[in-house]
Structure 1
Amino acid sequence: MPHKLYLQDVTLRDGMHPIQHQYSKQQIRDIAMALDKAGVDAIEVSHGDGLTGGSFNYGFGAHTDWDWLEGIAENLQHAKLTTLLIPGIGTIEDLKRARDLGVVSVRIATHSTEADISAQHIEAARNLGMDVSGFLMMAHMNDARGLAQQAKLMEDYGALCVYVTDSAGALLMDGVRDRIRAFKDVLKSETEIGIHCHHNLSFGVANTIVAMEEGANRLDASLAGMGAGAGNCPLEVLVAVLNKMGKKHNADLFPLMDLADDVIRPMQQRPVQVDRETLSLGYAGVYSSFLLHAERAAEKYGLDTRAILNELGKRKMVGGQEDMIIDVALDMARKGQK
């Protein structure tokens, strides 16, 4: 029996990146309540880089994760309050603290070849009675078979769902299709499959639909695409497409459209859109949250952001190496590269 479609909103986690993690507590509360009323199944809240991601390397938030999470769960009528944790940034103690604040679901995120570092955190989440997913980031950097082997590890550790996470927005539709099929070949039928897409090559919605057609049921999206780089699969567009396809889900389209246009777009300090810089992320296969870091380095050292992003792609840099963007820019400046 196919799993029911499950729409997870990431406006309040991935959507932290374009505003440099500066949501106020009131904004978090108001948007979460509105998303809940509009019928999304899960609402993810944390710093853009997961629990306790606020740092010099990733950027300090306007508040702590605990401040953002406080008072949300008890006011949700439908949606699950969820969060994200990257081992090495967040700890098991952080996970316990989030659970105490009403978080019932968590994604444990690793690079696409490093599922083995998630074992303790997945086990701890299961022991806390949480719905836990594995989140394999930068999925384009591992082939379909290799990524499926990593997904199997996460399943063995206790993950109830595993995500193909296109953090760079670099996958084409065949790339998504092959990875979901590979997951289906190795995972148990009861293990759910998720898809998380970025829009850097304008495939956010298309890749999400392809994944769904191949068997993914947990679909990530955000209001107005609010997220790193050119943003995530835009939630209101995805819901409109699902409606036209006759797919059953719990979300209400018009309120989501209103939230996207009336609340989220006015917040965007840098428009979340496909432009020459965000397109370069997908083209070079670079982690979407590198965008603002690369733009600042380009301005400081008189370089073209696209050139920096292309160099980061050549060096196969991954999430967690944000501090090295300055080193790359300095190296390029010394060599007279523009």
Structure 2
Amino acid sequence: MNSAVEPIDQKHVIGRSFGNVTIVRELGRGSMGAVFIGFQKSLKRQVAVKLLPKGPQTADWGARQFQDEAETVAVLAHPNIVPIFEMGEDDDYYFQVMQLVDGADLGRMIRHRLKHPVPSKRRMAPQTAVGLVMQVLEGLGYAHKHGVVHQDMKPANIMVDRADLRPMIVDFGIARTARTEYWAEGMVVGSALYLSPEQAAGRETDARTDLYAMGVVLFEALAGQLPVRQEDDTDLLMRKMERPDTLFLTRPSETAPGIDSELERIIVKSTAALREDRFSSAEAMRAALRDWRVHQGIGA
């Protein structure tokens, strides 16, 4: 799975400057370092700063991965993809400066709803979940046309802006592009629950790999919780490789009242074990969801 990196001590970076950005506080940690809120003095605005510590655990592979992420996102100008403004390094860290999204990630939104005191409000409204996923698919389709496969689509990597509920894809840290040379046959990267069977087996990925993950994300957004076994990543990877059709314990329509037969068909098709049975493109999956909205009288 994802490689480990050197730990970051907040005391060593809070108040420190990277480029013309001063670190203010930590936002979160991931597979490729930690993300902080920073203040960009030149434009007097808050930004997000991702830091990757230099050290033995990072090595050359991690540094190239971090740099490739920045170069990848730099050419992806799309409203549903968080832009990177700057990349650099000092003696201790590699850093990326990117847009700070005022909101929460989709995973946090889903978990927050599960705590609602009214049972009927513990799941996201289907039209809301479908609308968010459709916008994410726009961003993914754009990335795919530019030869970029994200490879780690999951609710935590979808930031939703508080003001207009616009979802934005983040963390292209393990994206596969035409430029990357370090992805080898047999290398497994990504988050186990959202990995496609071919990704779990370390085989070559393509756009349909991201669509598998988006099918799982759609199911989770609609159901609140996925009907899966409580098993560790190793067992889950083996299941994805050997028995991929046994991932879900119940059919989508049996899991949540908001999932009708058409939404179930879309989820089942996008999470098919064989990628040739999935949607052929992000636009094809988005078109299916658009048709569902029209049938619901919501409009395209």
| Between structures 1 and 2, the one with greater helix share | 1
| Between structures 1 and 2, the one with greater strand share | 2
Q: TM-score, normalised by structure 1?
A: 0.27
